[in-house]
Chains A and B, each alone.
Chain A
Amino acid sequence: MKSIVLCTENIEKRFGGVIALKDGSIEIRPGEVLALVGSNGSGKSTLTKVITGVLSSDGGTITYHDKPVSYSNPMAAQRAGIMAVYQELSLIPSLTVAQNIWLANEPKTRFGSIDSKTMNAETAKLLTLFEGTFQPSLHPEAYVRDLPLDERQIVEILKAYSRKPEVLILDEATASLDSKQVNCLFDLIQLLKSEDKGLVFVSHRMDEIFRIADRAVILRNGKTVGEVLIADSNEDEIVHLMVGSNVGLTRELGGRMTFSAQESVLIVEDLENEQLNGVSFNIKQGELVGIGGLRGQGQSSLLHTLFGNSHYTGKITLFDETLSFDHPKEAIEHGVALIPGDRATEGLLLLRSIFENFHLPNWAKYCRPLLKMKSAHSDAEEMGKQLNLIMESLDAPVSSLSGGNAQKVVIGKWLLREPKLLLLDDPTKGVDVGTKSEFYKLLVKLQENGTTILFYSSDEQELLDLCERVLVMQDGKVKADLSGDNLTEANLVFHSMGATNNNNHHEESTHA
């Protein structure tokens, strides 16, 4: 048994009323790669951020080199030798590669000024670790702003490596790398392993976990639920631990509807842009289709593209018409509505009243040419009642509403238009349980009235409860199309993680 370099016990973290982490316990051992595994919202990232001092914990202890520690900021953790590489990069675009790598850690000359020569030479040495996997435009004096995403990720990794960390945490660091670059990274990890450093590898790719990790800790709903030795385990066991025993849950709101010989209203072929790598699927009239997968796999981009808010190549056929929307306006005129993910930045006019927010897409209806405020007011009143909106008055600013009620306004503004295709971008994030169940009822009611719904959610349970079919996305592609008996939580998680060599969860393509 090797000694332990860093261990966390029962770490807790709350964001307002939401508990992100209840019992985060891991042990990091020198010369070993620990994989941290869990589905969306299981608390992986929160735990790593608590360790590196990005977030403060609300309970539990961190022991580092046998001493209890707690870092109030990332700089303090870095000084102690704990480094992390995140998927969201922290490089400064207007500085060169070398300046970024040595930022706040610059080699000095005898006179105390920055020794650029040494800095660039050292950087060139570091870059040889990834030799042959990047363009010649990546060199110590290149500006980071001119580099593509994968090369920036390499710089970020080298920056962490150059600080000679005792503990290195790689949080989804492979997401933007190609296979050659991943190989180089894994060589680097092996090198650190041989130097007895502690390594934490957070990834949603099963194959990578099995290639590089020695041990895996599985998190579920903010709790450490298991630990396995990779050599003695398999993908099934890990997926099972991630999902827990709650398999076989069925939809609470009536049985799943089945769709047979109906026309497809939305046909998407080979959709491509920065986030999408060839998405194809079709949806039938009145279907409620879920979009699953881990966060950031192109789900939002897909919805925005269908709504005309993003450039793309490929073909979209909606209601037997081949379309190319340049602006959301055109999509709206074709009966499409989008309920965006972030209420504050994309959904609401926070300074304006509830009344105005309700009617923003609907004013054309009240033009005579001056707006008929009275009838608009009574329509909004009606909609507020229908949605069971708890408010002071329609003229109160929308910012005075709670999260759930504010989301009702975002939905209500589209319902007044009676959309034919409703796109939802993770709409229940940060919404309380009561409002959520009202919201589910509303969706089912809309579906019964013939609205076709495409529903992205980062909450697997929600997808299982509501949808008759779920498209699982990974890397900007539809990885699996699950429906009927194949639509289980295990299958959802399994395909989200990009697992492949599995027999028990074999899925037949039901793609028509």
Chain B
Amino acid sequence: MKNILKKITWENFKKFNSKYSYLVSFILLLALATIINPRYFSYRNLSTLVLQASIKGIITLGMSMVIIAGLIDLSVGSMVALTSGLGVVVLNATGNAWIMLAFCLVFGTILGAINGLLVTKGKIAPFIVTLATMSMYRSIIVQLGQGGPFNVDLALVDKFRMIAAGNILGIPNLAVIFAITTIIISLVMAKTKFGRYVYAVGSNEQAAKLTGIHVDRVKTMTFTITGLLTGLAAFLLASRLTSITAPNAGVSFELDAIAGVAIGGIAMTGGSGVIAGSFLGAIMLQMIEGILIAAKIPPFLNGLVKGAIIIFTVLLQHRNITQRKMRLKAKSADKEEAVKANPVE
């Protein structure tokens, strides 16, 4: 009796884990962090965590759409640098943060659309397109800044930096913006026609086309929305840093976004995963960084750890998929036997 009970809970857990792997890993990670530092699990600490994860997190949301559609965008880091650098110029010229925000959103959208159109109209692999634009976007802003920083005018700094540093009802602005963006993108992906089409394109492009979906439009849109979100992230980054150094701003953001998507339980091969996963994925990545610091692991090894995380999670995904396939095979073999044993008609 006891054995049966045990088995049932284990089976149930496996089922739960295959659907909500991002929640399971989040809870495990939180538990680990709390064991290392018992005061970790506090409101103050957790809200700081969300705040720290928010800027990269917003980009992670876009990246997860792109990856669900079966694509990849390596240019987001350079896009952040280019957009925020020019955004600071716009802010200094106009003195109006709203105009800067509008500029960042529109400009990011355009950069994303360029990626999308090169992939769909130019028929170039997304990996190649965004690797090239990654280099181009970065190069432009470095040239414009002559290698130096873009600084927000002293007269504007104090007010401007409060956008990222401020609070609403004790909750950091950045955390609020990140949460709202997550809810909107979640709704888009789960509850709109477009969202369903993104999953369809990532799952089976040919079937999607034969169901009347304009596959190219959907792909271009995911890049464009990622551009828009990256524009928002660029605006927030400028407010947080108030000084954008062209060669450094946003460096390796693409790696963080992809790693966040991976630990968020979204399949790297496209077609499955949920936005809530990439929200937690971005936060988990931040937690891991914190744990590494607490464990006194040299920060130079951050890249090693993140790369290893991507490989490890994708290996796990493969294992899950192979297991599922084997189960399916066994199942259909059973059915065949059954059909043979009880022929219809």
Contacts and interface: CB of A to CB of B under 8 A. Distances in A.
A136 interface: no
A413 interface: yes
B193 A364 contact: yes
A501 interface: no
Contact of B339 (A17, A309, A364): A17
Contact of A309 (B203, B210, B335): B210
Contacts of A142: none
Contacts of A413: 211
A370 B345 contact: no
Interface string A298-338: 00000000010100000000000000000111011100001
Contacts of A360: 196, 200, 208, 211, 213
A350 B335 CA distance: 19
A327 B345 CA distance: 41
Contacts of B271: 349, 351-352
B192 A346 contact: no
Nearest to B327: A400
A363 B187 contact: no
Nearest to A361: B211
Given A351-B203, A367-B193, A432 B211 contact: no
Residue among B203, B208, B209 having the largest count of chain A Cβ atoms under 10 Å: B203
A288 B267 CA distance: 43
B344 interface: yes
A17 B340 contact: yes
Given A351-B272, A400-B331, A433-B343, A370 B203 contact: no
Interface residues of B, number: 33
Given A329-B214, A345-B206, A346-B207, A352 B336 contact: no
A358 to B, nearest CB: 11
Contacts of A359: 196
Given A327-B214, A369-B192, A402-B335, A349 B344 contact: no
Interface residues of A, number: 40
Interface in A394-426: 399-400, 402-403, 413
A340 B193 CA distance: 23
Nearest to B215: A327
A475 interface: no
Contact of B345 (A329, A356, A434): A434
B204 interface: yes
Contacts of B336: 16-17
Nearest to A336: B212
Nearest to A349: B203
A403 B343 CA distance: 16
A371 interface: yes
A216 interface: no
A399 to B, nearest CB: 6
Interface in B181-226: 187, 191-193, 196-197, 199-200, 203-204, 206-214
A437 B335 contact: no
Interface string B321-340: 00010001001100110011
A214 to B, nearest CB: 41
B169 to A, nearest CB: 27
A309 B203 CA distance: 19
Contacts of A75: none
B92 to A, nearest CB: 39
A348 B187 CA distance: 24
Interface string B55-85: 0000000000000000000000000000000
A81 to B, nearest CB: 37
Given A347-B207, A399-B328, A437-B345, A373 B193 contact: no
Nearest to A399: B328
Interface in A263-291: none
A425 B327 CA distance: 29
B196 to A, nearest CB: 6
B61 to A, nearest CB: 18
Contacts of B204: 345, 348-350
Contacts of A432: 339, 344
Contacts of B211: 328, 332, 360-361, 413
A356 B267 CA distance: 18
Contacts of B343: 433
A471 to B, nearest CB: 22
Contacts of B272: 351-352
Interface in A436-467: 437
Contacts of A16: 336
A399 B207 CA distance: 14
Contact of A346 (B199, B206, B214): B206
Contacts of B328: 399-400
A307 B272 CA distance: 28
Contacts of A17: 336, 339-340
B86 to A, nearest CB: 33
B273 to A, nearest CB: 10
Contacts of B345: 433-434, 437
Nearest to A331: B212
A70 B206 CA distance: 39
B94 to A, nearest CB: 34
B210 A352 contact: no
B285 to A, nearest CB: 25
5 contacts: A333-B212, A349-B200, A400-B328, A434-B339, A434-B345
3 smallest CB-CB distances across A and B, nearest first, come from A434-B344, A349-B203, A329-B212
Given A332-B212, A359-B196, A402-B332, 19 more contacts: A17-B339, A327-B212, A329-B213, A329-B214, A332-B211, A340-B207, A340-B210, A346-B207, A346-B210, A348-B204, A351-B267, A361-B211, A367-B193, A370-B191, A371-B191, A400-B331, A433-B344, A434-B339, A434-B344
Interface of B: 187, 191-193, 196-197, 199-200, 203-204, 206-214, 267, 271-272, 324, 328, 331-332, 335-336, 339-340, 343-345
